[in-house]
Amino acid sequence: MTVVARHCFSLVFSCVFFHATAADLTPETAALLNTLKTIRGKHILVGHQDATAYGIDWSGEPNKSDMKSTSGAYPAVYGWDVGHLELGKAANLDNVPFDLMRTRIVEAYQRGGINTVSWHLDNPVNGRSAWDTTRNTVRQILPGGEHHETYRGYLAKLADFFKSLETEDGTAVPLVFRPFHEHTGSWFWWGAAFCTPAEYIALWRYTVDYLRTDRGLENLLIAYSSSTIDTKEGYLERYPGDEYVDILGFDDYCMGDEASYVNRMSASLNILTAIAKEKDKVPAITETGYEQIPNTKWFTEVLYPTITEYPVVWVLFWRNAINRPNHYYIPYPSHPAAEDFREFHRLPKILFGDGATPLDIYRTAPIDIP
Residues at the contact surface with ligand BMA, assessed by CB under 6 A:
81, 93-94, 120, 318-319, 327
Q: How far is the CB of 309 from ligand BMA (least distance, A)?
A: 28
Instruction: Tell me which residue of 236, 268, 251 sits closest to 315, measured CA to CA.
Output: 251
Q: How far is the CB of 94 from ligand BMA (least distance, A)?
A: 5
CA atoms of 73 and 31, how far apart (whole Å):
23
CA atoms of 249 and 253, how far apart (whole Å):
13
- CA 281 from chain centre, in angstroms, equals 14
Q: How far is the CB of 122 from ligand BMA (least distance, A)?
A: 12
| Beta-ladder partners of 49 | 79
Q: How far is the CB of 18 from ligand BMA (least distance, A)?
A: 37
DSSP character at residue 323: S
CB 114 within 8 A of CB 357: no
Comparing CB distances to ligand BMA, the nearer of 129 and 266 is: 129
Comparing CB distances to ligand BMA, the nearer of 78 and 310 is: 78
CA atoms of 67 and 30, how far apart (whole Å):
28
Helices and strands (H and E) in the chain: how many: 12, 11
User: What residues have CB less than 8 Å from 333, skipping those under 6 apart?
Assistant: 69, 70
Q: How many residues in the chain?
A: 370
Give the Å distances, CA to CA, from 140 to 53, 93, 133, 150: 35, 24, 13, 10
Comparing CB distances to ligand BMA, the nearer of 55 and 311 is: 55
Comparing CB distances to ligand BMA, the nearer of 50 and 199 is: 50
Comparing CB distances to ligand BMA, the nearer of 31 and 285 is: 285
Comparing CB distances to ligand BMA, the nearer of 28 and 287 is: 287
CB 231 within 8 A of CB 271: yes
Comparing CB distances to ligand BMA, the nearer of 79 and 124 is: 79
Q: How far is the CB of 120 from ligand BMA (least distance, A)?
A: 5
Cβ neighbours around 144 below 10 Å, total: 7
